[in-house]
Structures are given as structure tokens and as C-alpha cells.
Amino acid sequence: MSKTNLFIGSLAYATTDESLAEFFATIGEVESAKVMTDRDTGRSRGFGFVTFVNEEDNKKAVEQLDGKDLDGRAINVSEARPREERPKRDFSAGGGAGGRGNDRGGNGGGSFRQRSW
């Protein structure tokens, strides 16, 4: 059985994996601490996850650290919910993102058409 993660929200952009782990180590032994980053820029997305060695420390962390200041920001600490299953996107319909294609109806993609009277 996998361990329960804690969701940590409202993180400062300056918060690192190491500073997050140090902050939560005041409650108990931290197994892992991860600040989520944008894959393109590498910048923090403002949230992360912490896993304790002892599951009992999760409740203590929520009670004692929710709303506390870390790197100049009041953080939110809660038990992480399982990731929701999202439908796979179908890019096979052509065109752009989401498989929407490129047909805007009737006149070649929505361009202006002169009337011929």
C-alpha cells in the first residue's frame, strides 16, 4: 500500500525541495518533499507534496503547519486527494490541440468573403 502524501499549497516561488523538507522535519522524519515545477520554465508552480516516514505525522502536520509561514507565505497543508483520471486527448482529427480540426464552416476557415451581386 502506498503512503499518503500531503498537499502543500500557496508555496513561495523561492521554496525548494530542501527548504520544504526542512520545514516539515519539525513534525517528523520526512521521506520525500517535492515542489512541483513548470516543465518548460523550471519555475515553481506554487504547490508541492510531502510524505512522512510515519503516517501518523500527517495529521500532526496538518494541525500544526496549516496556515504557518514558509518563505514569506502562509501555506496550506492538507491530505492529498488521488489524482483524477482524465480522458486521453485525441489528436487524430487533424488541425490543432484537442483534435478540433481546422474547419470553421463553409467558407474556407472563416475568412471574409466578398459578395458578388
Please give the helix or strand (H or E) that residue 7 lies within, else none: strand 6-9
Q: Would you kindly state where each structural domain of the chain is located, as residue ranges? A: 6-79
Tell me if 3 sits within 8 A of 28, measured CB to CB.
no
Q: At what angle do helices 17-24 and 56-65 cross, to 10 degrees?
A: 100
The CA angle 84-87-90, to the nearest 5 degrees, is 155
Give the per-residue pLDDT at 104: 52
Please give the chain's pLDDT, 117 residues, in tens.
Answer: 578 899 999 999 999 999 999 999 999 999 999 999 999 999 999 999 999 999 999 999 999 999 999 999 999 999 999 888 888 887 665 555 555 555 555 555 556 667 777
Give the per-residue pLDDT at 5: 94
Tell me if 79 sits within 8 A of 4, measured CB to CB.
yes
- The architecture of the domain spanning 6-79 is 2-Layer Sandwich (3.30)
